[in-house]
Structure 1
Amino acid sequence: MKVAVFGLGYVGSVTAACLADAGHQVVGVDLAGSKVDAILQGHAPLAEPGLDTLTRSVVESGRLSATTDVMTALAGADAAVICVGTPSAANGSLVTEFVEGVLAEISEFLDVSPDAGHLTVVVRSTLLPGTTDRLVELHLPAAGGGRCGVAYCPEFLRESTAIEDFRHPPFTIIGTEDDLTFESVMKLFEVVDAPIRHVTIATAESIKYASNAFHAVKIAFANEIARFADAYGVDADKLMAVFVEDRILNVSERYLRPGASFGGSCLPKDVRALTYAARRADVDAPLLESLLVSNSSHTRRVVDHVLMLGWRRVALLGLAFKSGTDDLRESPYVDIAETLTGKGVEVRIYDAVVNPAELVGSNESYIRLRLPHLEKLLFESRAAAIDDVDGIILGSDRAPDGFLEGSGVPLLDANHPARHWPQFAPVTR
Structure 2
Amino acid sequence: MRISIFGMGYVGAVCAACMAQRGHTIIGVDVSQEKVAMVNAGKSPIVEPGLDELLAAGKAAGRISATTNYMDAIYNSDITFIAVPTPSLKNGDLSLDYIEAVSREIGYALRDKKERHTVIVRSTVLPGTVLKVVKPILEDCSQKKAGVDFGLGINPEFLRESTAIRDYDEPPMTVVGAFDDETARVMAQLYSDLSAPFICKPIEIAEMIKYTCNVWHATKVAFANEIGSIAKAVGVDGREVMDVVCQDHKLNLSRYYMKPGFAFGGSCLPKDVRALNYRAGKLDVKTPLISSIMPSNENQVRRAFDIIEGLGKRNIGMLGLSFKAETDDLRESPLVELAEMLIGKGYKLSIFDRNVSFASVHGANKDYIHGKIPHVSSLLAQDEHQLMAESDVLVLGNQDKSFLSMLESWPDDKYLVDLTGFMTHPSDANKQGICW
**TM-score computed with the length of structure 2 as normaliser:** 0.57
Contact 1:10 1:46 in 2 (8 A): yes
Instruction: Give the equivalent residue in structure 2 for 1:180.
Output: 182
Give the match's secondary structure for 1:169.
coil
Establish whether residue 238 from structure 1 lines up as the match of residue 236 from structure 2: no
Amino acid at match of 1:121: V
Structure 2, gaps ≥5 residues long: 255-287, 294-436
Distance in 2 between residues matched to 1:166 and 1:213, nearest whole Å: 20
Instruction: Give the equivalent residue in structure 2 for 1:127.
Output: 125
Give the match's secondary structure for 1:140.
helix
Distance in 2 between residues matched to 1:59 and 1:289, nearest whole Å: 45
Distance in 2 between residues matched to 1:288 and 1:85, nearest whole Å: 23
Amino acid at match of 2:48: E
Q: Percent identity?
A: 45
Contact 1:136 1:143 in 2 (8 A): no
Distance in 2 between residues matched to 1:18 and 1:251, nearest whole Å: 28
Contact 1:222 1:240 in 2 (8 A): yes
Contact 1:143 1:150 in 2 (8 A): no
Contact 1:166 1:192 in 2 (8 A): no
Deviation at residue 187 of structure 1 after TM alignment: 1.8
Instruction: Give the equivalent residue in structure 2 for 1:88.
Output: 88
Instruction: Give the equivalent residue in structure 2 for 1:311.
Output: none
Instruction: Give the equivalent residue in structure 2 for 1:211.
Output: 213
For residue 251 of structure 1, the aligned residue among 253, 272, 279 is 253
Deviation at residue 288 of structure 1 after TM alignment: 11
Deviation at residue 10 of structure 1 after TM alignment: 0.4
Amino acid at match of 1:94: L
Q: In structure 2, do the counterparts of structure 1 residues 87 and 288 end up closer, same or farther at CA, with 3 Å as the change threshold?
A: closer
Deviation at residue 170 of structure 1 after TM alignment: 1.0
> What is the CA deviation profile of residues 78-117 of structure 1, one whole-angstrom value per residue up to 9, with x for unaligned ones?
100110010011111111111111111111112233x3x1
Instruction: Give the equivalent residue in structure 2 for 1:164.
Output: 166
Distance in 1 between residues matched to 2:132 and 2:48, nearest whole Å: 33
Amino acid at match of 1:227: S
Deviation at residue 248 of structure 1 after TM alignment: 2.9
Instruction: Give the equivalent residue in structure 2 for 1:31.
Output: 31
**How many residues get paired?**
256
Give the match's secondary structure for 1:211.
helix
Superposition misfits of 4+ residues, deviation over 6 angstroms: 288-291
Amino acid at match of 1:63: R
Distance in 2 between residues matched to 1:229 and 1:136, nearest whole Å: 47
Amino acid at match of 2:109: F
Instruction: Give the equivalent residue in structure 1 for 2:228.
Output: 226
> What is the CA deviation profile of residues 266-307 of structure 1, one whole-angstrom value per residue up to 9, with x for unaligned ones?
xxxxxxxxxxxxxxxxxxxx969979xxxxxxxxxxxxxxxx
Amino acid at match of 1:135: V
Amino acid at match of 1:27: I
Distance in 2 between residues matched to 1:237 and 1:144, nearest whole Å: 51
Give the match's secondary structure for 1:159.
coil
Instruction: Give the equivalent residue in structure 2 for 1:137.
Output: 135
Instruction: Give the equivalent residue in structure 2 for 1:71.
Output: 71
Give the match's secondary structure for 1:28.
strand
* Bigger radius of gyration: 1
> What is the CA deviation profile of residues 209-251 of structure 1, one whole-angstrom value per residue up to 9, with x for unaligned ones?
0000000110000000000000000011111111111123333
Give the match's secondary structure for 2:17.
helix
Q: In structure 2, do the counterparts of structure 1 residues 158 and 289 end up closer, same or farther at CA, with 3 Å as the change threshold?
A: closer
Q: In structure 2, do the counterparts of structure 1 residues 145 and 11 end up closer, same or farther at CA, with 3 Å as the change threshold?
A: closer
Distance in 1 between residues matched to 2:187 and 2:72, nearest whole Å: 22
Instruction: Give the equivalent residue in structure 2 for 1:14.
Output: 14
Instruction: Give the equivalent residue in structure 1 for 2:374.
Output: none
Deviation at residue 199 of structure 1 after TM alignment: 0.4
Instruction: Give the equivalent residue in structure 2 for 1:111.
Output: 111
Instruction: Give the equivalent residue in structure 2 for 1:326.
Output: none
Contact 1:38 1:45 in 2 (8 A): yes
Instruction: Give the equivalent residue in structure 2 for 1:147.
Output: 149
Amino acid at match of 2:236: V
Distance in 2 between residues matched to 1:214 and 1:201, nearest whole Å: 20
Instruction: Give the equivalent residue in structure 2 for 1:296.
Output: none
Distance in 1 between residues matched to 2:290 and 2:183, nearest whole Å: 43
Q: In structure 2, do the counterparts of structure 1 residues 236 and 37 end up closer, same or farther at CA, with 3 Å as the change threshold?
A: same
Contact 1:48 1:159 in 2 (8 A): yes
Greater displacement, 25-34 / 104-113: 104-113
Which residues of 2 match residues 39-54 of structure 1 at below 5 A? 39-54=39-54
